[in-house]
Protein backbone atom coordinates (compact mmCIF):
# COMPACT_ATOMS: atom_id res chain seq x y z
CA UNK A 1 0.00 0.00 0.00
CA UNK A 2 1.24 3.47 -0.82
CA UNK A 3 0.01 6.96 0.06
CA UNK A 4 -2.34 7.11 -2.93
CA UNK A 5 -3.94 3.79 -1.92
CA UNK A 6 -4.34 5.05 1.66
CA UNK A 7 -5.88 8.34 0.52
CA UNK A 8 -8.32 6.39 -1.68
CA UNK A 9 -9.48 4.48 1.40
CA UNK A 10 -9.98 7.73 3.32
CA UNK A 11 -11.87 9.34 0.42
CA UNK A 12 -14.06 6.27 0.00
CA UNK A 13 -15.15 6.15 3.64
CA UNK A 14 -14.86 9.66 5.06
CA UNK A 15 -18.14 11.48 4.51
CA UNK A 16 -17.31 14.86 6.05
CA UNK A 17 -14.88 17.59 5.10
CA UNK A 18 -13.85 17.88 8.73
CA UNK A 19 -12.68 14.25 8.75
CA UNK A 20 -10.73 14.78 5.53
CA UNK A 21 -9.05 17.83 7.07
CA UNK A 22 -8.28 15.90 10.26
CA UNK A 23 -6.72 13.07 8.23
CA UNK A 24 -4.59 15.63 6.38
CA UNK A 25 -3.51 17.31 9.62
CA UNK A 26 -2.52 14.14 11.45
CA UNK A 27 -0.71 12.81 8.38
CA UNK A 28 1.33 16.04 8.13
CA UNK A 29 2.33 15.96 11.78
CA UNK A 30 3.19 12.26 11.69
CA UNK A 31 5.39 12.80 8.62
CA UNK A 32 7.13 15.71 10.37
CA UNK A 33 7.81 13.66 13.49
CA UNK A 34 9.08 10.75 11.37
CA UNK A 35 11.54 13.09 9.61
CA UNK A 36 12.56 14.57 12.96
CA UNK A 37 13.17 11.13 14.49
CA UNK A 38 14.71 9.49 11.43
CA UNK A 39 11.77 7.13 10.93
CA UNK A 40 9.87 6.09 7.78
CA UNK A 41 7.74 9.11 6.88
CA UNK A 42 5.61 7.12 4.42
CA UNK A 43 4.52 4.55 7.01
CA UNK A 44 4.07 7.15 9.73
CA UNK A 45 2.15 9.41 7.37
CA UNK A 46 -0.20 6.63 6.29
CA UNK A 47 -0.84 5.69 9.93
CA UNK A 48 -1.78 9.31 10.62
CA UNK A 49 -3.94 9.55 7.52
CA UNK A 50 -5.81 6.29 8.18
CA UNK A 51 -6.25 6.40 11.95
CA UNK A 52 -9.82 7.81 11.86
CA UNK A 53 -10.94 6.99 8.29
CA UNK A 54 -13.85 4.86 9.61
CA UNK A 55 -15.24 7.52 12.00
CA UNK A 56 -18.09 8.63 9.69
CA UNK A 57 -19.17 5.09 8.81
CA UNK A 58 -18.56 3.23 12.06
CA UNK A 59 -21.78 1.75 13.46
CA UNK A 60 -20.99 3.01 16.99
CA UNK A 61 -18.14 5.09 18.45
CA UNK A 62 -17.02 2.23 20.67
CA UNK A 63 -16.47 0.06 17.56
CA UNK A 64 -13.96 2.59 16.20
CA UNK A 65 -11.20 1.84 15.17
CA UNK A 66 -11.72 -1.93 15.23
CA UNK A 67 -14.35 -1.58 12.51
CA UNK A 68 -11.85 0.20 10.28
CA UNK A 69 -9.06 -2.28 11.06
CA UNK A 70 -11.07 -4.99 9.29
CA UNK A 71 -11.39 -2.81 6.20
CA UNK A 72 -7.67 -2.03 6.28
CA UNK A 73 -6.80 -5.74 6.48
CA UNK A 74 -9.08 -6.47 3.51
CA UNK A 75 -7.29 -3.69 1.56
CA UNK A 76 -3.86 -5.17 2.30
CA UNK A 77 -2.65 -2.57 4.78
CA UNK A 78 0.39 -3.54 6.86
CA UNK A 79 -0.13 -4.85 10.38
CA UNK A 80 2.29 -2.17 11.61
CA UNK A 81 -0.09 0.56 10.48
CA UNK A 82 -3.20 -1.35 11.62
CA UNK A 83 -1.74 -1.82 15.09
CA UNK A 84 -0.94 1.91 15.32
CA UNK A 85 -4.52 2.71 14.27
CA UNK A 86 -5.90 0.28 16.87
CA UNK A 87 -3.68 1.64 19.66
CA UNK A 88 -4.64 5.30 19.14
CA UNK A 89 -7.72 4.92 21.34
CA UNK A 90 -7.51 4.05 25.02
CA UNK A 91 -10.80 2.14 24.86
CA UNK A 92 -9.33 -0.59 22.62
CA UNK A 93 -7.07 -1.93 25.35
CA UNK A 94 -4.17 -2.16 22.89
CA UNK A 95 -1.11 -0.70 24.51
CA UNK A 96 1.08 1.71 22.62
CA UNK A 97 4.52 0.13 22.37
CA UNK A 98 6.32 1.58 19.35
CA UNK A 99 7.43 5.16 18.89
CA UNK A 100 5.01 5.48 15.96
CA UNK A 101 2.08 4.31 18.10
CA UNK A 102 2.97 6.78 20.84
CA UNK A 103 3.38 9.58 18.32
CA UNK A 104 -0.01 8.90 16.73
CA UNK A 105 -1.75 9.09 20.10
CA UNK A 106 0.21 12.22 20.99
CA UNK A 107 -0.69 14.13 17.82
CA UNK A 108 -4.28 12.99 17.18
CA UNK A 109 -6.28 15.15 19.59
CA UNK A 110 -3.69 17.92 19.66
CA UNK A 111 -3.74 18.41 15.87
CA UNK A 112 -7.48 18.95 15.89
CA UNK A 113 -7.35 21.17 18.93
CA UNK A 114 -4.64 23.42 17.48
CA UNK A 115 -6.63 23.74 14.26
CA UNK A 116 -9.69 24.76 16.30
CA UNK A 117 -7.65 27.36 18.20
CA UNK A 118 -6.40 28.84 14.91
CA UNK A 119 -9.91 28.93 13.45
CA UNK A 120 -11.20 31.18 16.25
CA UNK A 121 -8.34 33.64 15.82
CA UNK A 122 -9.27 36.75 13.79
CA UNK A 123 -6.46 35.91 11.33
CA UNK A 124 -7.40 32.20 11.13
CA UNK A 125 -3.65 31.59 10.96
CA UNK A 126 -1.35 29.19 12.77
CA UNK A 127 1.08 32.10 13.03
CA UNK A 128 -1.16 33.46 15.79
CA UNK A 129 -1.16 30.22 17.80
CA UNK A 130 1.43 29.36 20.43
CA UNK A 131 1.63 27.00 23.41
CA UNK A 132 0.26 29.65 25.77
CA UNK A 133 -2.85 30.17 23.62
CA UNK A 134 -3.40 26.41 23.26
CA UNK A 135 -3.05 25.77 26.99
CA UNK A 136 -5.38 28.67 27.78
CA UNK A 137 -8.03 27.16 25.48
CA UNK A 138 -7.46 23.73 27.04
CA UNK A 139 -8.74 25.19 30.32
CA UNK A 140 -11.94 26.36 28.63
CA UNK A 141 -14.07 23.20 28.77
CA UNK A 142 -16.74 24.75 26.51
CA UNK A 143 -14.21 25.23 23.70
CA UNK A 144 -13.83 22.22 21.38
CA UNK A 145 -15.52 20.17 24.07
CA UNK A 146 -15.22 16.90 22.14
CA UNK A 147 -11.42 17.05 22.45
CA UNK A 148 -10.12 15.04 25.38
CA UNK A 149 -7.60 17.25 27.17
CA UNK A 150 -6.27 14.33 29.21
CA UNK A 151 -5.35 12.54 25.96
CA UNK A 152 -3.32 15.60 24.94
CA UNK A 153 -1.30 15.68 28.15
CA UNK A 154 -1.07 11.88 28.43
CA UNK A 155 0.08 11.68 24.83
CA UNK A 156 2.93 14.13 25.39
CA UNK A 157 3.98 12.32 28.55
CA UNK A 158 3.94 8.86 26.93
CA UNK A 159 5.77 10.19 23.87
CA UNK A 160 8.34 11.68 26.27
CA UNK A 161 8.10 15.23 24.95
CA UNK A 162 7.64 18.49 26.82
CA UNK A 163 4.06 19.68 26.23
CA UNK A 164 5.07 23.21 25.16
CA UNK A 165 7.69 21.87 22.74
CA UNK A 166 5.21 19.32 21.43
CA UNK A 167 2.57 22.01 20.81
CA UNK A 168 5.13 24.14 18.99
CA UNK A 169 6.24 21.18 16.87
CA UNK A 170 2.65 20.34 15.91
CA UNK A 171 1.87 23.97 15.02
CA UNK A 172 4.92 24.12 12.75
CA UNK A 173 4.12 20.75 11.18
CA UNK A 174 0.60 21.94 10.33
CA UNK A 175 1.72 25.14 8.61
CA UNK A 176 2.55 23.53 5.22
CA UNK A 177 -1.02 22.13 5.01
CA UNK A 178 -2.76 25.16 6.52
CA UNK A 179 -4.80 25.92 3.38
CA UNK A 180 -6.09 22.33 3.31
CA UNK A 181 -7.21 22.83 6.91
CA UNK A 182 -9.19 25.97 6.10
CA UNK A 183 -6.56 28.23 7.64
CA UNK A 184 -4.77 31.19 6.13
CA UNK A 185 -1.08 31.09 5.42
CA UNK A 186 1.17 34.02 6.24
CA UNK A 187 3.24 33.29 3.13
CA UNK A 188 0.33 34.23 0.85
pLDDT (average), residues 174-187: 88
pTM: 0.95
Map out the domains of the chain with their CATH numbers: 3-180 (1.10.3210)
The pLDDT value given to residue 89: 83
Q: Tell me the three state secondary structure of residue 184.
A: strand
The 10s digit of each residue's pLDDT in 44-100 is 999 999 999 999 998 777 889 989 999 999 999 999 999 999 999 888 889 999 999
CA distances from residue 164 to 12, 44, 58, 90, 132 in whole angstroms, order as listed: 36, 22, 34, 23, 8
Amino acid sequence: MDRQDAWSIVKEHAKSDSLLRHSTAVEAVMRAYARHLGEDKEIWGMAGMLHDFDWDICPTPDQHPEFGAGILRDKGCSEEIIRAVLSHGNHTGITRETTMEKALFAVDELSGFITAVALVRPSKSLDDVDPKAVKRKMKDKAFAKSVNREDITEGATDFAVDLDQHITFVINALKPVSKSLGLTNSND
